[in-house]
Amino acid sequence: MSTRFENRVAVVTGGVSGIGAKITERLVAEGARVVVADINEELVASARDTFGDAVTGVRADVTKEEDVQAVVDAAVDAHGTLDAMFNVAGGSRAGGLLDLSAEDWDFTVRLNLYSAFYGTRSAARQFIADGKPGSIVTIASLNSLVPMFFGAGYTASKAGAVMLVKQAALELAEHRIRVNAVSPGLVSTPMTGGLREIPGVDDAYMDRIPMKRAAEPAEIAAAALFLASDDASYISGDNLVVDGAWATSGYPDLRPFLG
């Protein structure tokens, strides 16, 4: 295992489960000290037991700017600096354009887009205050590029998150801050597990994914860490799609299974 992040400090929102947990694991293995944030108090409380002494857990609602700022402050208070920000927390409430409630739209947009905005801005302000370079990586989705049925709020907010990355990369380049996104396709996580257990759904996905499998969370973590590392020192404003070539074939129509 490399030591690309030795003596560096990172914040990972949603860093105690799914893709976020694998990012945290990999950062620790590569020498980083990590502050993880999650809304689940039990998972946050056990973060050090789960990941080791290099990890500190902070309970935060990433849809609230003050909570996200508190996580960045916690990293600086504990370690004196910040080097990398990973905006991972996200999710959705399903619904199509004609029937999604305004409440569910707001929930989804705040969780995916507002949280990325708050994380990006808080980290960037810290990098600038410290007078040092920094890296920000946002976990978006293949749905930032490809629409899906029942995903009106999710697709729109993830597309917004990718454009936010590009906007931030443009504005922050003069401060030596790089900003990138990773857009995963189907990933084997608890979030997708229930959907894939519905008879026929997994086959519908595999019909469209040329590599005929879901990604493992560790594969998405590897892409995220690459973008945050010095190996990607001239990459900014990019959206790295990690989808087993799924974007070449389009999204399956899940209406027969979910409608």
DSSP symbol at 187:
B
Q: Which of 118, 154, 205, 251 is catalytic?
A: 154
Query: How many angstroms separate the CA atoms of 226 and 2, rounded?
Result: 11
The pLDDT of residue 259? 72
Query: How many angstroms separate the CA atoms of 159 and 165, rounded?
Result: 10
Q: Which of 62-71, 188-197, 248-257 has the lowest mean pLDDT?
A: 188-197
Residues 6+ apart with CB under 8 A from 102: none
Q: Please, which residues bridge with residue 33 across strands?
A: 9
> What value does the mean pLDDT take over residues 49-67?
97
Q: Where are the domains of the chain?
A: 9-241
> What value does the mean pLDDT take over residues 12-18?
96
Whether 191 has a pLDDT exceeding 80, the answer reads no
List C-alpha distances in Å: 147 to 69, 150, 202.
32, 9, 18
Torsion, Cα of 67, 60, 109, 85 (10° steps): 80
Whether 140 has a pLDDT exceeding 80, the answer reads yes
What pTM value is reported for the model? 0.96
> What value does the mean pLDDT take over residues 135-150?
97
Written as one string, the DSSP assignment of 56-114 is: EEEE--TTSHHHHHHHHHHHHHHHS---EEEE-------B-TTT--HHHHHHHHIIIII
Q: Which fold has domain 9-241?
A: Rossmann fold (3.40.50)
Share of the chain above pLDDT 90, in %: 93
Whether 183 has a pLDDT exceeding 70, the answer reads yes
154 a catalytic residue? yes
